[in-house]
C-alpha cells in the first residue's frame, strides 16, 4: 500500500489509539493509571511531529485487477508533518502527508498519495467535552482509509476521499453521560466501473455505570447512504446495548448486541430488512505493548459498488515492544459479507494485513521491514485475487522520537 494517506489519517493505527478499521467499532477504555495528587500531570505534547523516509520494495500485483497482474520493484519516498496546538482545555492537531511510489520501467504504474487532516478536542467544562475531525485524501483505492474501514477490496484506481466527524459528551446524573456524534464520508473514483457515493451517520448514546468496574450504554444510530446512482439512496436504523467490563488495570472487555433495520432493503442490496447488530472487543495494555481483538457484524455501505451489505469483521491489532530498540506492529482484518461468493464485488470476501518490524538506530532513525497482504475472494465472474508487498525503509524521526505511523509500501 502506498503510505501517504495513512501517515496522518491513520495516526492511531499503529500507535494503538482507540479507533480500529471498521464502519463503527467501540473499543473498551482502560482506566487511567493513578497519579499522586501531589504531582499533577503538566505534560504537554511537543508542538511538531514529523518523519521523512524512503524505501525499496517488491509488489507482486501492482494494480490488483487480475490474479497475475504486473509486478515489480518500487522506490517509495514518503513524509509527514504535524503541528499540535494545545491549551489547558483543548488540543488541535493539523497534519499533512504524502508519498510517491515509482516502478522503474513501468512509468504508467507510478502512483502518489496525499492527505491533509485536522483533529481536535475541547473541554468546555468539567462535564462537557467536544471533539471533531476532518480530512481530505487524494490517492488510490488501496490507501483510502474509508475503504479500509469498510473492508471493500477494489481494483487500484485513483480515489478522492472526504471524511468529517463531530461529537459532544455531557455528564448527566450520577456518573452517567450523554453522547451525540455525527459523521460524514464521501468517496469518488476515476473509473466508470465504480460508483461514487457518500453517507451520513448520527448516533445518540446514554452511558451509565454499573458498579466500579462495569458500564452500560444504550445507543441509537441512523445512517443515510447516497450512491451517485438515481433511486438507490437508503436509510438504516441501528439500536443496541453495550456492556463494558474492566477486568484489571490493564485489560477490558466490551460486548454489544442489538438489531438494524433497513426499510428499503432491496434498494440497498440487502436480502433482509432486519439483522443482528453487534460484536465484541478486548484490549490489553502490557507496559509498552498493546493488544486489541475484535469481531463485529453490521450493515455498512460498500463504497464503489453502490450498495450496502451485511458483513462480519474480525481482526487483531498489536504493538509489541521487544527491548529498547525493536518493535513489532501489526494489523490484520478479515471481512466476510453475508452471501459471500455472489456475483458482484460487494459480496467478495477480503483480507488485509500489515506487519512492520522496526529497529531503532539511536533516537531519531528507524530501520524497518514492512509487509502487506491483500486478498479478495471469488465472486461470480470475478476471480480470487491477492497481492503481496514487502519493503525495507529508513525513516528520520522528529524531536519526539516517536514513529509517524503509516500503512507501508
Full set of structural domains in the chain with CATH: 4-29+43-397 (2.40.170)
Q: What pLDDT does residue 35 have?
A: 56
Rounded CA-CA distance 141/2 in Å is 10
Report DSSP letters for 341-408, one per residue. Answer: TSSSGGG--EEEEEEEEEEE-SSSEEEEEEEEEEEE--BTTBPPEEEEEEEEEEEEE-TT--------
Rounded CA-CA distance 278/261 in Å is 13
| Structural contact between residues 372 and 409, judged by C-beta atoms closer than 8 angstroms | yes
Q: What pLDDT does residue 6 have?
A: 33
Q: What pLDDT does residue 52 have?
A: 93
Q: What pLDDT does residue 23 have?
A: 60
Measured between alpha carbons, how far is residue 290 from residues 16, 145, 246, 358 in Å?
Answer: 7, 22, 16, 16
Q: What are phi and psi of 168, to 5 degrees?
A: -145, 145
Q: What pLDDT does residue 28 have?
A: 86
Tell me which residue has cell 478479515: 334
**Average pLDDT for runs of 10 along the chain of length 409:** 33 32 72 61 74 94 91 93 93 94 90 94 93 95 88 90 96 85 96 94 94 94 95 95 94 97 93 94 92 95 93 94 90 89 82 94 91 91 91 88 53
Q: What does the block give as the cell for 179?
A: 453522547
Rounded CA-CA distance 275/297 in Å is 9
Q: What pLDDT does residue 247 have?
A: 95
| Structural contact between residues 321 and 357, judged by C-beta atoms closer than 8 angstroms | no
Q: What pLDDT does residue 344 have?
A: 79
Tell me which residue has cell 509498552: 288
Q: What pLDDT does residue 14 have?
A: 29
Q: What pLDDT does residue 19 have?
A: 38
Its pTM stands at 0.86
Amino acid at each position: 500500500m502506498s503510505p501517504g494517506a495513512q501517515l496522518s489519517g491513520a495516526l492511531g493505527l499503529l500507535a494503538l489509539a482507540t479507533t480500529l478499521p471498521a464502519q463503527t467499532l467501540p473499543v473498551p477504555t482502560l482506566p487511567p493509571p493513578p497519579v499522586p495528587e501531589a504531582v499533577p500531570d503538566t505534560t504537554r505534547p511537543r508542538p511538531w511531529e514529523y518523519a521523512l523516509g524512503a524505501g525499496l520494495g517488491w509488489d507482486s500485483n501492482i494494480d490488483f485487477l487480475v490474479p497475475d497482474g504486473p509486478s515489480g520493484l518500487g522506490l517509495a519516498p514518503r513524509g509527514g508533518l504535524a503541528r499540535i496546538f494545545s491549551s489547558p482545555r483543548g488540543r488541535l492537531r493539523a497534519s499533512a502527508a504524502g508519498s510517491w511510489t515509482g516502478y522503474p520501467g513501468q512509468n504508467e504504474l507510478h502512483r502518489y498519495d496525499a492527505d491533509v487532516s485536522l483533529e481536535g478536542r475541547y473541554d468546555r467544562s468539567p462535564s462537557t467535552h467536544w471533539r471533531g475531525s476532518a480530512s481530505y485524501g487524494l490517492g488510490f483505492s488501496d490507501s483510502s482509509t474509508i475503504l479500509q474501514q469498510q473492508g471493500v477490496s477494489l481494483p487500484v484506481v485513483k480515489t478522492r476521499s472526504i471524511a468529517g466527524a463531530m461529537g459532544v459528551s455531557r455528564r448527566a446524573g450520577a456518573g452517567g453521560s450523554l453522547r451525540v456524534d455525527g459523521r460524514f464520508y464521501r468517496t469518488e473514483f476515476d473509473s466508470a466501473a465504480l460508483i461514487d457515493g457518500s453517507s451520513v451517520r448520527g448516533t445518540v448514546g446514554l452511558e451509565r455505570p454499573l458498579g466500579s468496574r462495569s458500564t452500560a450504554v444504550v445507543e441509537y444510530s441512523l445512517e443515510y447512504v447516497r450512491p451517485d446512482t438515481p433511486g438507490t439512496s437508503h436509510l438504516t436504523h441501528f439500536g443496541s446495548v453495550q456492556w463494558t467490563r474492566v477486568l484489571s488495570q490493564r485489560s477490558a472487555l466490551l460486548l454489544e448486541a442489538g438489531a438494524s433495520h433497513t426499510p428499503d432493503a432491496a434498494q440497498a442490496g440487502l436480502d433482509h430488512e432486519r439483522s443482528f447488530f453487534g460484536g465484541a472487543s478486548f484490549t490489553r495494555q502490557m507496559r509498552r505493548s498493546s493488544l486489541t481483538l475484535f469481531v463485529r457484524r453490521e450493515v455498512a455501505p460498500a463504497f464503489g459498488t453502490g450498495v450496502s451489505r451485511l458483513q462480519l469483521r474480525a481482526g487483531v491489532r498489536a504493538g509489541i515492544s521487544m527491548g529498547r530498540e525493536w518493535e513489532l506492529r501489526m494489523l490484520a482484518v478479515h471481512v466476510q459479507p453475508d452471501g459471500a461468493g455472489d456475483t458482484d464485488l460487494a459480496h467478495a470476501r477480503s483480507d488485509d494485513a500489515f506487519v512492520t518490524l522496526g529497529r531503532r538506530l539511536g533516537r531519531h532513525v528507524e530501520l524497518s521491514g514492512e509487509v502487506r497482504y491483500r486478498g479478495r475472494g471469488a465472486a461470480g465472474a470475478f476471480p480470487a485475487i491477492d497481492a503481496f508487498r514487502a519493503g525495507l525503509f529508513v525513516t528520520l524521526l522528529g524531536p519526539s522520537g516517536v514513529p509517524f505511523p503509516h500503512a507501508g509500501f
